[in-house]
Amino acid sequence: MIAWIEENGLRIGTFPALDALAPALSVWFTTRGGGVSRPPFDSLNLGSHVGDSRTDVLENRRRLKKTLGIGANRVARGGQVHGTEIAFVKRGGTLEGTDGFMTVSRGLALAINSADCFPLMIHSPSEMVLAAIHVGRSGAAAGIIGKTFDLLYERYRIDPDNTVAVCGPGICPRCYEVGRDAAMAFPAYARMRRVKGWHLDLPRFIRTETERAGLKPANFFDSGLCTACESDLFSYRRDGDRTGRNWTLAMMIRR
């Protein structure tokens, strides 16, 4: 289900099955190779608030945009805070305190920065609107997925029958051990695996929330990759405080 672009030393995941349903949509997710950052940020770290050299991060972003053919100022992203704030954007840049973006602009990439949290992209091919949200445990519990669909229905009148959702890499339930309080925020998705450990199935929660919002199960695309299981992805849980960030990007291409 994943195809890989290997170019300029970068290895970028894509979703070829999207083409039939959403021909204008491209979704890409990065892996660690092909950048210039030194350990522990080696090497394609795209996060600028993790302690890495700013020059290296900017060079990594430049390489990524060049490889994907995205213009220099054509990436919109957020200073993500695990909240539910969603911004409508027409141009590139960083919006502080924002975990979600919507756009109708073609050729504008929406990027979600993550290292275990899930990036979720939602696109209506008939209304030509795109949303990108950062879904961690807090944002998920606070309802960012339902809020995004509500906005898409109200503001853009999207048709749930043709809307697609794409979920990038994030932490799998086996790797995601949480405390009891966190588990109890998602009672249907938490499981006690060992004597003390609660494990949370965030990917299943995300899939179910999209279906609750009206998405057809066949229109949900999942990378199936875990950031902590795959050594080729940055993982906060696996590597601790000092690690890099992956990007998942979505863009409606120009005709």
Cα three-residue angle 150-173-177, rounded to 5 degrees: 110
Interacting stretch for Zn ion, rule CB under 5 A, among 31-39, 119-127, 204-212, 224-232?
224-232
Q: Does 213 bind Zn ion (CB under 5 A)?
A: no
Q: Does 115 bind Zn ion (CB under 5 A)?
A: no
Please give the Cα distance from 170 to 53 (Å, whole number): 25
Measured from the CB of residue 35, what is the shortest distance to Zn ion in angstroms?
23
Measured from the CB of residue 196, what is the shortest distance to Zn ion in angstroms?
19
Q: Does 226 bind Zn ion (CB under 5 A)?
A: yes
Nearer to Zn ion, 158 or 226 (CB): 226
Judged by CB under 5 A, the residue of 175, 178, 182, 185 near Zn ion is 175
- Token pair recorded at residue 98: 């924002």
With CB under 5 A as the rule, give the number of residues binding Zn ion.
Answer: 5
Measured from the CB of residue 228, what is the shortest distance to Zn ion in angstroms?
4
Nearer to Zn ion, 152 or 233 (CB): 233
Measured from the CB of residue 104, what is the shortest distance to Zn ion in angstroms?
36
Q: Judging by beta carbons within 10 Å of its beta carbon (0-12, 13-18, 19+), is residue 190 exposed, middle or buried?
A: buried
Please give the Cα distance from 113 to 79 (Å, whole number): 9
- Token pair recorded at residue 192: 């006690």
Q: Does 228 bind Zn ion (CB under 5 A)?
A: yes
Q: Does 172 bind Zn ion (CB under 5 A)?
A: yes
Please give the Cα distance from 165 to 125 (Å, whole number): 11
Q: Does 57 bind Zn ion (CB under 5 A)?
A: no
Measured from the CB of residue 112, what is the shortest distance to Zn ion in angstroms?
19
Measured from the CB of residue 174, what is the shortest distance to Zn ion in angstroms?
5
List Cβ neighbours of 121 (8 Å cut-off, separation of 6 or more): 25, 27, 110, 112, 130, 131, 132, 133, 165, 166, 167, 168, 248, 250
- What distance lies between CA 72 and its chain's CA centroid? 20
Strand 190-192, strand 93-96: pairing: unpaired
Q: Does 87 bind Zn ion (CB under 5 A)?
A: no
Q: Does 178 bind Zn ion (CB under 5 A)?
A: no
For 238, the enclosing helix (H) or strand (E) is helix 236-239
Interacting stretch for Zn ion, rule CB under 5 A, among 31-39, 63-71, 73-81, 220-228?
220-228
Q: Is residue 99 within 8 Å of residue 82, measured between CB atoms? A: yes
Q: Does 128 bind Zn ion (CB under 5 A)?
A: no
Q: Does 229 bind Zn ion (CB under 5 A)?
A: yes
What is the binding site for Zn ion (CB under 5 A)? 172, 175, 226, 228-229
